Amino acid sequence: MIPANFNYHKATTLKEAIALSQELGEEAKYMSGGHSLLPMMKLRFATPEHIIDISKINGLSYIKEEGDLLKIGALTTQSELEHNDLLKKSYPIFGDAVWLTADPSVRNFGTIGGNIAHGDAANDQPALMLALRATIIAEGVDGKKSISIDDFFHGFYMTALEFGDILTEIQIPKTKKNSGGAYHKVERKVGDYATAGVAVHVELDDDGICQEIGIGLTNVSAVPMRLERGEEILRGKKITDDLIEQLGVIASEDCEPESDLRGSEAYKRSIVNTITKRMLNKALERARK
Amino acid sequence: MFKCKTSPEVGGMGHSVKRKEDARFLHGKGKYTDDVKLPGMLHMVIVRSPYAYAKILSINKEKALAIDGVLAVITGEDLAQYNLHWMPTLLSDSQMVLPTDTVMHQSQEVCAVIATDRYIAVDGAEAVDVQYEPMKAIVNPFKALDEDAPLLRPDKEGQKDNHIYHWERGEREKTDAAIAAADVVVKERIHLPRIHVASIETCGVVASYDKDTEKMLIYLTSQAPHAIRTILALVAGHVGLSEEKIRIIAPDIGGGFGGKVPVYPGYVIAIAASFLIGKPVKWIEDRSENLVNGFARDYHMDCELAATKDGKIQAFKVSTLADHGYTDSSANPSKYPTGMFSICTGSYDYEHAFAELDAVYTNKAPGGVAYRCSFRVTEAVHAIERMVDKLAAEIGKDPAQLRFENFIKKEDFPYASPLGWSYDSGDYKQTLEKAMDMIGYADYKKEQAEKRAQGKLMGIGICTFTEVVGAGPSKDFDILGIKMFDSAEIRVHPTGKALARFGTKSQGQGHETTYAQILAEELGIPYTDIEIDEGDTDTAPYGLGTYASRSTPTAGAAAAIAARKLRDKGKKIAAHLLEVSEEDIEWEVGKYFVKGAPEKSKTIQDVAFAAYTNFPEGMEPGFEATHYYDPPNLTFPNGAYICVVEVEEETGAIDVKRFVAIDDCGNIINPMIVEGQIHGGLTQGIAPAMYEGIVYDDEGNVLNGTLMDYLVPTAVESPHWETGHTITPSPHHPLGAKGVAESPTVGAPPAIANAIIDALYPLGIKHLDIPITPDKVWDAIQVAKAKA
Amino acid sequence: MAKHKVTMTINGKSVTAEVDSRLLLVHFIRENLDMTGTHIGCDTSSCGACTILIDGKSVKSCTYLTVRADGADITTIEGIAVEGTNHPLQKAFHDQHGLHCGFCTPGMIMRSIDLLKTNPNPTEKEIRWGISGNLCRCTGYNNIVKSVQQAAAEMAKEKEASV
């Protein structure tokens, strides 16, 4: 399997990359880690005329807390997420997800920005972003823009990124006291795309009342999906076992899986039910620590 | 237990010496087919059909030929000019090399692009414009014999429907009568799905024809280079490729498992291309080409097992439908269209058995590869071992106890099976007892009872299999008439070091070490002083190759006997050197000595030197021997495997907690290598049991033709295997050895399936076909609950 | 299509070449440099037979463009030990019978080098997960796990001795 011919261009700054995209036109594609795009090119599902390599752009690889935000540079690799002390300590949901994403060699080069910008509901990071209520920062011809994660995913491989835009940073509200998140996906074997995955992030007040909750689902809909109805029944409430059961049912009802090699629609709905409950429990456990 | 006769330095049988072949692989210096690079070498890429069944309306080469570097596009019409567009299969069927009018399965070869570079060849293949008229494919083998089914092979004279052949063994009437009269009969339709060997190295060839010498040099991923040379000469003799002009070199092979026995159309096209162009041509399959071509298994088996009410087995009947794809290209011995399927009566002693099989054509890839299995033994063992467990569950008897009560007894060997085999040896009771001890069977039974009381799903699965390997005796076994012997040729050099060559070909089994150990055992020459060479048809003696666990039973035996011939010659030389008569010379490993005067001795090295420098008058000089071994019988390795699983009812998730494998392969040449082979085969057993299976949609499209969806287990899915052995030597093999490396692939799937089904039994689930995946378990649980 | 000039260090030696944009790194190494220890097994970055190190990190070279390796420090199986000697992982795979056909072995070893760098003392589970992007069809993984364990112990000893 060999990609069709294309022209390679290396950008070392954001400006240069954006200018290149304008110059080369719509047949140009950005490549960061290349672990989503290049396999598609090898299968000739994607045949871009130009590749603009953005992986060498300096200053887009970082994980830091600033003000009220956790900021992750788009070129931060999955391995860097996996081994980062701040994330391990305060945002363990990343560890849950990255550990299950592809395999260590792919994680060495696959980036968080690429995982999100690819717009694939089978990728793991979109569900996390939904649960964590991330804001996507992008830069394009008209300068910087920030996009709420709820406005980011438009369709199969389609996002709010416009022609020339580069996803540069992910901003996530800094973790608060009494908050916690968790992610799990059922996979047929290690490194597989999810049969179904669920990310939950919950914030409690001192009385254990749910102040905020985010639930994102992986690979059970055409577009990465927020479980809105589920969030609503929990927000402002003390989360009881009964509510957790209800949440599971809602999750199984609202997700939109299709039968395929990963299992029947009914099976996937049931899995979503189960994992949603388990991840809420795990998130609560972490929040209460 | 086996007692070593040699020192670790000599490294004869029973020593876990480290492998001699490792160094080159560890340093990246292995030489596989894709590593071969010849001057002027061209690259070939195959255009394949997107349809399962279609007429080819046109093939337009123009755009491809316009690409700089594309030299040729070879079609079926081109090959038809040389009558090379079809080739015979080993079982008297025929297979297209390239089609002239119709494609019969998705991804079938349509034409081939030859270019100066791999990348350009791929571009050329993309640029070939093929127009098809798709037709309704037959995908379900049960519908292949419907009256309105299209006739898939009108090209075959006399072919009226899609039925290929009927085969049967045993006594139908008596078996039916015994089943009718029995207290208990359990029935099940068991499907073993299509799977693929998925060796990490795909198949490939570098063909290099020299127009001046008329020699065709072929580097080939082949487990059987000699047989392939003969087949090529038979197929292409009419264009001038005669056998002495063909040299096949099977270089290092990145896993074979049976998948590198057949002749694939791609090989023939590349060879034809090199012949026509006069330059070397390389073709290496990509992974998708590999996965969707050639398959193993695909038997639908209707089984009936009859017994008395207390569980004494009386009769077994199995009627099978085999899906062969569009041609029967099974790589089987000629007289065995269903391979050794008739081993299906298992490790149990009863009188009546009947097995029959009907094979049909469908619009799927041909194959019938004996995937790490001595020709359909996996199917046979799965059938009997599932049914024995089903019987045990039906009558409420512990499945271990049921097996003990039905085993063929140690003293009953050689045992004549109801379907005609003569089992050589075994001690099934001891082997199962050892497995039960090792895993702690009684404790798990207790734990299971407790867990069931709590509503938890835990299962214990047993498989006590008997294999039949080492094909085979010349009276029954041949491939295209060539008897299935194998060979060894030993040359001991004047300095006492040796070179030995074999008709087999290692694909990771460690022949360079184990064959040297056999010779060390027989001659006392340290294994490190013996070079082993295989795979080059110009230098190695003729042999049928490595598959069906036959290397040790055939070539290993040939090595022992050739060595004994040398020892006999050496005895004469020793007598000459020690100035005594031959009758006064005795042998102990590595040296000859004078009876009653052990201080008067000559080492094997002394004798080897003398064979070239100081041999008795009238003796033929040199110290070489060759033997072609025709085995008197097959060998019957066996084992007892026990698996413990837990299943989560809510999700169907399956957790393999323990797996113990006790194997009996007779005397062991190298315990380290045997254990390694068992480990590997066990992972290839859990693979079809829980993960792998080629999936087709209703149009005949393969849905999982990449390693992203064809789920080869990683180190995470593969459990920590626990292994052990018992030793019951083969009475007829010169070393008392049996084949071994296929036992785990055969024995593991039923053990795992039995464990999972045992776990689900309280819910009323009595059978599931493999692969048993969590979603399949979950679906079955819902059905069971709805019924209950 | 314009060619690109790339310069990289491979196994300690500087290499400069003109390559097409689409040339996969695995082909550059195998075909252009004639180092065939790095293998191709699947084309979809599923099997890991093509694993090498780029700047010390394991990567599947079938899913990496050669042009992107401009300026990189690359290590392949041919470069992990001085000729005639063994890296502790090479020795361990030999000692523990961690290879059969040898086809996955270079990738498995390259991956294990990175694994032991980030986790010098891994548990069995961590090893199994750590090599989960590398398929072996022959060994059943038991002995690969043991090989990595042996190498980890030896490398720890070496490290202690060098302090």
Residues A112 and A155 occupy one common structural domain: yes
- Picking from A44, A190, A274, the nearest residue to B651 by CB comes out as A274
The reply to whether A258 falls in a domain is: yes
Within chain B, which residues score under 50 in pLDDT? none
CB pair distance less than 8 Å for C132 and A191: yes
Q: CA–CA separation, B742 vs B515, rounded Å? A: 18
Question: Does the pLDDT at position C1 exceed 80?
Answer: no
Q: Is A4 on the interface with B (CB under 8 A)?
A: yes
Select from B165, B479, B158, B153 the least CA-distant residue to B327. Answer: B153
d(CA B61, CA B124) in angstroms, rounded, equals: 9
Q: Is A4 on the interface with C (CB under 8 A)?
A: yes
Does residue A254 lie in a domain region?
Answer: yes
Q: Which amino acid is at B414?
A: P
Residues in chain B, total: 788
Q: Which CATH number fits domain C4-79: 3.30.465.10, 3.10.20.30, 3.40.50.11740, 1.20.140.10?
A: 3.10.20.30
> Six-digit token pair at B326?
């569009």
Q: Sort out which chain C residues have CB atoms less than 8 A from B718's CB and list them.
A: 128, 140-142
* pLDDT for residue B417: 98
In this structure, the answer to whether residues A148 and A212 fall within a common structural domain is: no
Q: Residue A147: which of A160, A158, A131 has the closest Cα? A: A160
Instruction: Count structural domains, chain A.
Output: 3
Q: Are A128 and A208 within one domain?
A: no
What dihedral angle (degrees, nearest 10) is formed by the CA atoms of A43, A46, A51, A54? -90
Phi, psi of C157, deg, nearest 5: -65, -45
- Strand B352-360 and strand B313-323: the pairing is parallel
Residue A250: the pLDDT is 98
Q: A72 and A40, same structural domain?
A: no
- Kindly state the DSSP code that residue A5 receives in the 8-state scheme: P
**Between the CA of residue B773 and those of A100, B688, B757, what are the distances in Å?**
19, 10, 12
Contact flag A104-C111 (C-beta cutoff 8 Å): yes
Cβ-in-10-Å burial (0-12, 13-18, 19+) of A207 comes to exposed
User: CB distance B703–A261 less than 8 Å?
Assistant: yes
Name the residue in chain A with its Cα closest to that of B703.
Answer: A261
Please choose, from the candidates B300, B304, B299, B341, the residue with its C-alpha nearest in 3D space to the C-alpha of residue B175: B304
Asked if A75 and A48 sit in the same domain, the reply is: no
Size of interface A-B (CB pairs under 8 A): 54
Task: Supply the pLDDT for residue B1.
Answer: 65
Catalytic residue among B111, B203, B373, B463: B373
Cβ contact B523:B13 at 8 Å: no
Q: Residue A58: inside a domain, yes or no?
A: no
Q: Write the DSSP string, B217-284.
A: EEEE--S-HHHHHHHHHHHHGGGT--GGGEEEE--B-S--TTTTSS--HHHHHHHHHHHHH-S-EEEE
Which of B297, B372, B386, B501 does the annotation list as catalytic? B372
Which of C77, C78, C141 has the CB atom closest to B718's CB atom? Answer: C141
Question: Which chains, if any, share at least 3 CB pairs under 8 A with chain B?
Answer: A, C
3-state DSSP call for residue A125?
helix
Q: Are B488 and B626 in contact (CB under 8 A)?
A: yes
Residues 6 or more apart whose Cβ sits within 8 Å of residue A104: A79, C58, C111, C114, C115, C129, C130, C132, C133
Q: Are residues A122 and A143 in the same domain?
A: yes
In a 13 Å sphere around the CA of B293, the CA atoms on its Cβ side amount to 22
- Give me C21's structure tokens: 């944009």
Say which CATH number the domain at A36 has. Answer: 3.30.43.10
**CB atoms < 10 A from the CB of A237, how many?**
13
| CA-CA-CA-CA torsion sign (A204, A208, A209, A213) | positive
Q: Are residues A134 and A189 in the same domain?
A: no
Neighbouring chains to C with at least 3 Cβ pairs closer than 8 Å: A, B
Chain B positions with Cβ closer than 8 Å to A:
118-119, 122-123, 126, 286-288, 650-653, 691, 695, 703-704, 708-709, 711, 713-714, 716-717, 773-775, 778-779, 782
Query: Is residue A14 included in any domain, yes or no?
Result: yes
Walk me through the domains of chain B, giving residue ranges and CATH numbers. 22-30+486-629 (3.30.365.10)
B134 backbone φψ class: left, alpha, beta (φ>0; ψ -120 to 50): beta
Q: Does residue A102 share a domain with residue A80?
A: yes
CB atoms within 10 A of CB B53: 26
Query: Residue A28: which domain range?
Result: 7-53
User: Where are the CATH 1.10.150.120 domain residues in chain C?
Assistant: 88-162
Unique residue bearing structure tokens 């159309």: B265
Which residues contact residue B525 at a Cβ distance below 8 angstroms, ignoring those fewer than 6 apart?
B10, B492, B496, B497, B498, B519, B590, B604, B605
Does residue B677 have an active-site annotation? no
Interface test with C, best of A76, A103, A193 (most C CBs within 10 A): A103
- Three-state DSSP at B166 gives strand
Q: What are phi and psi of B576, to 5 degrees?
A: -60, -45
Q: What amino acid is encoded at B275 in this protein?
A: F
Asked if the C-beta of C43 comes within 8 angstroms of chain B's C-beta atoms, the answer is yes
pLDDT confidence of residue B111: 98
CATH topology of domain C88-162: DNA polymerase; domain 1 (1.10.150)
Could you write out the three-class secondary structure of B656-686? EEEEEEEEECECCCCHHHHHHHHHHHHHHHH
CA distances B752 to B184, B656, B731, B748, Å, are 25, 8, 32, 6
| Residue in B31, B287, B677 nearest the CB of C42 | B287
Q: Are B506 and B189 in contact (CB under 8 A)?
A: no
Distance CA B242, CA B239 (A): 9
Assigned domain for A2 exists: no
Q: Would residue A11 count as lying in a domain?
A: yes
Q: Select from B1, B16, B4 the least CA-distant residue to B670.
A: B16
Contact indicator for B702, B303 with CB cutoff of 8 Å: no
Alpha-carbon span B545 to C124, nearest angstrom: 37
Residue B203 bears catalytic tag: no
What is this structure's pTM? Answer: 0.98
User: Is B534 marked active-site?
Assistant: no
Q: Do A27 and A124 have their domain in common?
A: no
> Alpha helix (H) ranges present in B528-594?
557-578
Helix (H) or strand (E) holding B306: strand B299-307
Query: In Å, how far is A51's CA from the nearest CA of chain C?
Result: 9
Instruction: Among B651, B653, B691, select the one facing A189 at the smallest CB separation.
Output: B691
Mean pLDDT of A131-158: 96
Q: Would you state the torsion angle of the CA atoms of residues B550, B554, B557, B563, taken in this order, to the nearest 10 degrees?
A: -120
CB contact (8 A) between residue C21 and residue A8: yes
- C163 has a pLDDT exceeding 90: no
Structural contact between residues B113 and B121, judged by C-beta atoms closer than 8 angstroms = yes
A1 lies in a domain? no
Cα-based angle A159, A161, A166 (whole degrees, multiple of 5)? 130
Full DSSP string of B108-129: -EEEEEEESSHHHHHHHHHH-E
CA distance B627 to B500: 11
Instruction: Report helix, strand or coil for B32.
Output: strand
Active site includes B403? Answer: no
A246 found inside a domain: yes
Q: Does C115 touch chain B (CB under 8 A)?
A: no
Which residues of chain C are in CATH 3.10.20.30 domains? 4-79
Burial B254-269 (b: 16+ CB within 10 A, else e): bbbbbbbbbbbbbbbb
Put simply, the answer to whether C41 touches B716 (Cβ < 8 Å) is no
Q: What confidence score (pLDDT) does residue B707 get?
A: 97
| Set of chain C residues whose Cβ sits within 8 Å of the Cβ of A191 | 46, 132-133
Q: Which two tokens stand for residue B453?
A: 């009381």
Task: Identify which of B109, B17, B114 has the alpha carbon closest to the alpha carbon of residue B70.
Answer: B114
pLDDT score recorded for residue C9: 98
* Residue B438: its H or E element: helix B428-439
Report d(CA C67, CA A38) in Å as an integer: 13
CA angle centred on A36, ends A31 and A39, rounded to 5°: 100
Q: What is the pLDDT of residue B516?
A: 98
Regarding beta strands A7-10 and A50-53, do their DSSP bridges make them parallel or antiparallel, or are they unpaired?
parallel
Longest C-alpha distance within chain B, in Å? 89
Within an 8 Å CB–CB cutoff, is residue A46 touching chain C? no
CATH of the domain at A138: 3.30.465.10
Measure the CA–CA gap between A284 and B646, rounded to whole angstroms.
27
- Quick check: A195 contacting B, CB < 8 Å? yes
Per the CB < 8 A criterion, the answer to whether A254 and A159 are in contact is no
- Which of B128, B288, B775, B776 best tests the A interface by mutation, with the highest count of A CBs <10 A? B775
Angle at B431 between CA B429 and CA B432, to 5 degrees: 70
